[in-house]
Structure 1
Amino acid sequence: IKPKVGLNPKDTAAVAYEAAIGGVDLIKDDETLTDQTFCPLGERLPLIMEQLDTVKSETGRTVLYAVNISTAGDRIVERAREAARMGANMLMIDVIVCGFDAVRAVAEEPGINLPIHVHRTMHAAITRNREHGIAMRPICRLVRMLGGDQLHTGTVSGKMEHDITELRGDNLALTEPFFDLKPVFPVASGGLHPGGVHKEVSMLGRDIILQAGGGIHGHPEGTRAGAAAMRQAVDAAVAGIDPATYAADHPELKRALDKWGIA
């Protein structure tokens, strides 16, 4: 949900409804939104889940909400328990900020059993300079071993760096057979919009989550139309249809392509 910070719980829930009714399958908090006074987790989570229940009653679709439980290491398990008690259907952890063991602690905690969306915020401090630090690949392995279910790895069309060979290798580290560990969903995020969906799917495959923020909310007709445009772009990519051709009779996608173009 954008903007990153500033919306109160009621407004956040209203935006979540618009995105969900427009066609998205997963809504997440921003990495910078946790439990601030202007939008406390305890108020935000029930209101968003109420809106997603409305979406389910209206459409039959279950939409996931990854609530950001990131906090100090000695408090994250209790925050995860609280979120589960309030009806959360997914959790989110900023793994670099909270520490790798935060993911393990929540994943292994009895009684929670919710998928964990792992954000890599601050990773560039250790991954971007090829002369020192560590690459994204070991982080992928660690998150998988610790019990994460989804991990941001990057895009081939967005605003981040684009080493496609390396990115494909990172995604394979999450999805290919690796001892007895379950696979992890790669998440493509960062400057993603409907015009980039075809490139993401054609180059990274269909076992991926496409995470758009501004590429949905920045649609000229608003969040609902932006979500519909993303959904239409995915439908076109999966069907192997050129996005411009598909947009001819899908007005939401056409407006998005007119604004952002095709990557």
Structure 2
Amino acid sequence: MANTSCLLVTYEIKASAGKTIQEMADDICIEQTVEVVKQLAQDKWIQENIIGRVEGISQTGDNIFSVIISYPDEITAYQLPQLLSVLYGNISLKSGIKLIGIEFSDSFLSHFSGPGFGIDGLRRLLNVENRPLLATALKPMGKTPEELAGLAYKLALGGIDIIKDDHGLVDHSFCPFKERVQCCLSAINKAEEETGKRVLYFPNITDTHEKLIDHAERGKEMGVGGFLISPLIVGLDIMRYLADNLGLPIMAHPALMGTLFHGISTEIVLGDLMRLAGADMVIYPNYGGRFPFTEKICQETGYALKKKMGGLKTAFPVPAGGIDIKNIKSLKQFYGNDVVFLIGSSLYVCSSNLTASVKDCIQHLSAYC
């Protein structure tokens, strides 16, 4: 296995008293692989083929260092759970260490299918070639399936591209999954017959493992357009499994992901990992909204979703969280055409005519192309 392909992983480390930065880097190499004291890791084959290796150290600030460590691809077993363990498993329990960059080998990436549809595939499904896509969520929680279906009909009649469940909608007694999906699909199909415009409906399948799999299978049978899932809540590899086996687009919701950002760069969590796990669209907070995301973070995340990653398809950035439809022109200039704008409350409250509001928004998106 010597001279095999490797992951090149960059950590930002704050040096601590009592250890040199070289010692801290060497500790990470051991901790993230064999996890034993050095005298128990003297086997030459293990040293050459298993243990991480420090490739470079540079000082970037006051007591702050950038450390590059290589890990043999093979120790990840080419699977997401073990990859996460190698990248940041045990050291997530330590302070002063942040994962800020990963360079994947093409050999490693070839073991992952990634997004099943990606940007181009979703555009083909919707027959929308050259403008940003428009999406919204059915809300609020507490409405009946029939009430949500009424909203879905008005939205679809206006020509919206994607309607998703709010991420808080699960299999509630007051809004059961099967009934909600049936009602919303009927409403959307009715609108499609009237307009000729395809609309994709993404019900939320974030739930217990048993229900999640059942809802995915039932949803596919009923004819949904794709699924919304919160991968950090149910498990990243669950999303990968669904993407690989269902044959429908996946939209990833960022619920609970904020717990990772102190230790892993946002663009890795929302970009690299989401694409590896098969997300076709990734929701994240837009700058200037109710979450503390900056323009820089949004730009870096968008880049991570579209950059070259072996043969993996690109994924749509889906900025959300307080987007005002009055700002569509400037947002379009910032994100470009390959973006899905997820607009919630602003779309619902801008006028008493929801269908007209959607039409107006689509018109503006088309005009700015």
Return the letter of the residue paired with 2:216.
Answer: A
1:21-59 per-position Cα deviation (integer Å, ceiling 9, x unaligned) = 122111011111111111111001111111111111111
- Distance between the aligned counterparts of 2:328 and 2:255, measured in 1? 22
Alpha-carbon deviation of 1:68?
Answer: 0.3
- Within the candidate set 201, 205, 230, 2:336 is matched to 205
Q: Residues 57-105 of structure 1: CA distance to partner in whole angstroms, max 9, x if unpaired? A: 1111100111101112354223211111121111110112111111011
Partner of 2:259: 125
Describe the SS at the equivalent of 2:213: helix
Per-residue CA deviations over 1:129-159 (Å, capped at 9, x if unaligned) read: xxx3322212221110111110013323433
Matching of residue 34 in structure 1 with residue 165 in structure 2: no
Kept in 2, the 8 Å contact 1:97–1:121? The answer is yes
1:204 maps to a residue whose letter is Y
Q: Percent identity?
A: 27
Task: Tell me which amino acid in the other structure corresponds to 1:152.
Answer: I
- Going from structure 1 to structure 2, the CA distance change for 1:224 and 1:157 (only over 3 Å counts) comes to farther
1:2 is displaced (CA, Å) by 4.6
Matched, 1:184 2:315: yes
Cα separation, 2, equivalents of 1:225 and 1:125: 39
Structure 1 residue 223: Cα displacement: 1.9
Higher relative contact order (CA 8 A, sep 6+): 2
Contact 1:157 1:200 in 2 (8 A): no
Q: Secondary structure at the match of 1:54?
A: helix
Partner of 1:229: 360
Structure 2 residue 220 is matched with structure 1 residue 84: yes
Which has more radius of gyration?
A: 2
Does structure 1 retain, via aligned residues, the 8 Å contact 2:156–2:192? no
- Residues 159-178 of structure 1 aligned to structure 2 (within 5 Å): 159-178=290-309
Q: Which runs of 5 or more structure 2 residues have no equivalent in the other structure?
A: 1-136
CA distance in 2, matches of 1:220, 1:192: 16
Shift of 1:176: 1.6
The TM-score normalised by the length of structure 1 is: 0.83
CA distance in 2, matches of 1:197, 1:161: 20
Report the number of matched residues: 232
1:155-184 CA distance string (max 9 Å, x none): 234332242122111111111211111111
> For structure 1, which runs of at least 5 residues remain unmatched after alignment?
239-263
Write 1 or 2 for the structure with the bigger share of strand: 2
Moved more, 148-157 or 115-124: 148-157
Distance 1:161 1:231 in 2: 27
| Equivalence map 1:39-188=2 (5 Å) | 39-109=175-245, 112-127=246-261, 132-139=262-269, 140-188=271-319
Which one has the bigger helix percentage?
1
- In the TM superposition, what is the alpha-carbon distance from 1:220 to its structure 2 partner? 2.6
Q: Could you say what secondary structure the match of 2:202 adopts?
A: strand
**2-side partners of 1:31 and 1:217: how far apart?**
17
